[in-house]
Structure 1
Amino acid sequence: MGPAKRCGKSRLLDVITESVHDPLITVNASAAAVFRSITDAPPTLLVDEADTLFGSVKVAEKNEEMRGLLNAGHQRNRPTLRVSGPNHEVAKFPTFAMAALAGIGDLPDTIMDRSIVIRMRRRRPGEKVAEFRTFRDTPALHALRDRFVAWLAPLHADAMELTPTMPVEDRAADTWQPLVSVADLAGGQWPDLARTACRVTAKHEAEQDQDSSSLGIRLLADIRRAFATEGNPPALRTGRLLDILNQDDETPWPEHTANGLTPRGLQILLKEYGISSATRRFHGNVQAKGFTRLQFADSWARYCPEPTPEPTTGA
């Protein structure tokens, strides 16, 4: 993914095309055609300009089948059902296939969540890179691909039995496990390098997801910072909490309405998490509407957990 044109996305896809098993470039291909191209020995799907498929709500709606195919293809044994043939019989079509997508901006969340995301940047003036020339460089890529096949083919059964220790959990672990398994088979420095890449990339994408996620999750994170600003008291008045949120110009709250985030707006956003204010007793025996820190503990842990400190190694 890249934020704009000329970030090297298509060039990277060119390199991948010459390096993978049975590449299938799906430019303007229909979902039905792609369905029928995937067999028990699937090709590698290559989708350039993927933002043209999902770049707007209206366009994405027209390509819902393609999105469903890419989502289902993340795992084996997730066939799609279609009515096929003159007798209108229900047929199963396999969906599992490796896929590489290139595009401007982020793709739908369900695709991003199933992907290893490589974020590209445009070269600065003066930065030099070796140019890729198809006719000159393709033979070397084919030779590298063939070496990988010759090495890995005899190890296929061993690779399928591996259950490597992963530095991430859930879907990120599912996505990265094949690469980490290959790294473990290679030995040497590769197991550590693969796990470092996995951990750093997954952490970055989690931060990106939090930055662009719903207002509710953003609000939870900002409320945690508000409590920290006040020294993490057991409870915080609603008025004081809103003052802190609305004074931070780097958050969306000052412009949430003409008057910033209001008590009513705060109540609506927190309702989804089962959190509401109540009359509480504060310093000086003063009663006021407010929240306890304990009310947020479960939601903080579930939706915006604080990063786990990376392990340090001794000298």
Structure 2
Amino acid sequence: MSPISKLILRRLAIGALTLLIVSAIIFWAIELLPGDIATEVLGQSATPETLAAFRERFGLNDPALVRYINWLGGALTGDLGLSMANQRPISQLLGDRSFNTFFLAGYAALIAIPLAVGLGIVAALYRGSWLDRFISSSTLAVISFPEYFVAYILILIFAVHLQWFPSLAAVAPGMDLTQRLYVTFLPALTMVLIVMAHMMRMTRAAIVNLLALPYVEMAHLKGIRRRRVITVHALPNAVAPIATVIALNLAYLIVGVVLVEVVFVYPGLGQLLVDSVAKRDITVVQAACLIFAATYILLNLAADIIGIVSNPRLLHPR
């Protein structure tokens, strides 16, 4: 087995171990919540017989370690159990919600990635100019505000005053793609503005660092235009740090979507998580947290593996 394959397998093993630890943290953190779960879900007016049947149905009489092992085994086989609030299979509840969340994150990524990389190249190309300062300061100004503040500002401008887009991202399963893109534009734009600064600044920093290397200076001495030096000579060697920061920001898009979904009342995993916390539906909370954690860990692993594969010193060890 090649050294690069061993490194990738080692990272995958670390990712699996990390997910196992995170699953234990999720389960035991919810287990430490005060109060009786059956009483919280069914209400104070529930009879003792109803409470006993509820605890028996969801295995609340079993020791916590047994319930954790059963939950983890079910999650590994795709069986996340039943919702405590409405007795429906959790996999059915998460189906459309997961699609909506990943659709919104993908929509934002399709706008943010080329825009951030393009602005980073322009800022590096005109380093030290007013354009560079304007791009850097404006992106930093946007990222200084929390997501909900940016979302409310966009709603005020584009939904209230200009009335170009709806303030609520109400999507339905049978909605066509064009209508879905229109309805979800404001939440997608909110996420674009939040994550774009990281990717833009990393692209700029990676290219600026490469411009000081000898082979780039030699290209300048040969009379090659500065734009060609950046796009042809510097940019391909900056793929590793840029790809890494893109993967990390994609992870943030998935996990950080909760506040955006709540502001725009978007029917995604984040909104489901908030509603389930309010209802004390802990089985759905556990499942949603596990999906967020698994997605975040997988995308971080992807960033790590991209950095390994794109490093020539690891691909061709001596």
Q: TM-score range by the shorter chain?
A: under 0.3
TM-score normalized by the length of structure 1: 0.26
TM-score normalized by the length of structure 2: 0.26
Q: Which protein has the bigger helix share?
A: 2
Flag the structure with more relative contact order, 1 or 2, with Cα contacts below 8 A and sequence separation at least 6.
2
Q: Which protein has the bigger strand share?
A: 1
